[in-house]
Amino acid sequence: MLCICVAGEEEQQAQSKKALKKQQKEAEKAAKKAEKQAKLAAEQQETDEDADRALVRVQDLTPEKAEQQIWVRARIHTSRAKGKQCFLVLRHQQFTVQALLAVGDRASKQMVKFAANLTKESIIDVEAVVKKVEQKIESCSQQDVELHVERSEARLPLQLEDAVRPEGEGDEEGRATVNQDTRLDNRVIDLRTTTSQAIFRLQSGVCQLFRDTLINKGFVEIQTPKIISAASEGGANVFTVSYFKTSAYLAQSPQLYKQMCICADFDKVFCVGPVFRAEDSNTHRHLTEFVGLDIEMAFNYHYHEVIDSITDTMVQIFKGLRDRFQTEIQTVNKQYPSEPFKFLEPTLRLEYKEAVAMLKAAGYDTDFYVLDKYPLAVRPFYTMPDPNNPKYSNSYDMFMRGEEILSGAQRVHDAQLLTERATHHGIDLEKIKAYIDSFRYGAPPHAGGGIGLERVTMLYLGLHNVRQTSMFPRDPKRLTP
């Protein structure tokens, strides 16, 4: 009996130890949970405090905000330490402002040193007082004010500096400039520069003005397929893609579908979308994928009605860019100087045969003009021949600063003639049967053209490479990023 009692006591003691350990573990677990909750609560409080900050945009920093204490979020464009002071240029998009951080009541020596060593392109939050300046700060867009920094917080460090320096200036001063391949390999960084910001904001304006002008003229915006059964322009410069058990092509233009919409009585249509050209051309103006601004419209008596409508659209775009985007134009000119774009009203139109001699002799003061009546042999199969001279055609190109930005023509709207022209160009009639058939049921005379968005932007700004105006360019040697 005694042995049994002892065994029972030992068992109770073991159970008590287990219970104690369990209680200790639960207590530790509860303490960790409480610590975690307290940490989350503190982080939430910090987040709430951050959310209460009213961030002011750099472009809104004007003398009217003088003596106000504000928060700004921007990138460090440049930094320069001088004694107990640090000068920063803060940048958001294409706008810049000077900031001053000095040792004093609100900033320690360590803080100034920390700010001076922040990596360029870091995104920082700055608490500062806006101060008027006696002498304009020429190096910044906000020339009449500077920020006296009281507190800053580094957010994200990334490198950039030389991408905004004009090439000539870099050569003269022995400082680095960034070549094109380096820019494109690091495109996200390059797109942050004030120049790139200005280029693509102006390009957005081109699209908006194109749409607004045509809608006001009674055009309808359409969307067309980019995977098609036959090469829309004919020829070999087309990308072939696998399409289930057969092959298809990437559209060289929305041409066939624009015309089918005209046959469907839409009268005036336009579209904005990607265009693909399998041309192994490594020039300053060729891309394998670009954005096409395409127009098609029925006319009453002569295809020059369409030319007049397109040229007026372009003139409205030029006026809109000139009037609304001077900040962007001037920003680009700082890095890539060029003469202002010139145009005439009405637009100069010359026939192809006479154009070269007349342009040289007459000395027209314009950067935008039209060449009309191209040889039929160099135009696509759907181009209408000139009824007065079968060697020529009712086709035209438009030029900016001497380079083509639009190719267009009156289209063949008779099914029989269209069949003959397609056969002459070696096109498989079965693959474009639906297109040809759309003209068998009655089609009005019509014409149109396709504009390259990137070329328009490049030439309007006087740039020298279309890759500068393509956000993520594609050419025979570049498929990334």
Sorted by sequence, the CB contacts under 8 Å of residue 165 that are 6+ apart come out as: 175, 176, 177, 178, 335
Among residues 91, 379, 455, 467, which one is catalytic?
Answer: 455
345 is catalytic: no
Beta strands in 238-316 (DSSP E): 240-243, 246-250, 268-276, 289-298
150 is catalytic: no
Among residues 73, 187, 285, 478, which one is catalytic?
Answer: 285
455 is catalytic: yes
91 is catalytic: no
Among residues 183, 187, 286, 474, which one is catalytic?
Answer: 286
Place of tokens 């994928």: 289
Helices 453-460 + 194-216 axis angle, to 10: 120
Name the H helices within 186-265: 187-190, 194-216, 255-263
Q: Is-contact 279 474, C-beta < 8 A?
A: no
424 is catalytic: no
DSSP per position, 169-208: HHHHHT-----HHHHHHTHHHHTTSHHHHHHHHHHHHHHH
Among residues 75, 77, 192, 277, which one is catalytic?
Answer: 277
Rounded Cα gap, residues 292 and 216, in angstroms? 20
Place of tokens 């342009």: 359
10 is catalytic: no
Among residues 393, 407, 438, 470, which one is catalytic?
Answer: 407
Among residues 127, 161, 351, 404, which one is catalytic?
Answer: 404
Rounded Cα gap, residues 262 and 257, in angstroms? 9
Among residues 121, 127, 279, 289, which one is catalytic?
Answer: 279
Query: What is the CB neighbour count within 10 angstroms for residue 71?
Result: 16
285 is catalytic: yes
Q: Which residues are catalytic?
A: 277, 279, 285-286, 404, 407, 455
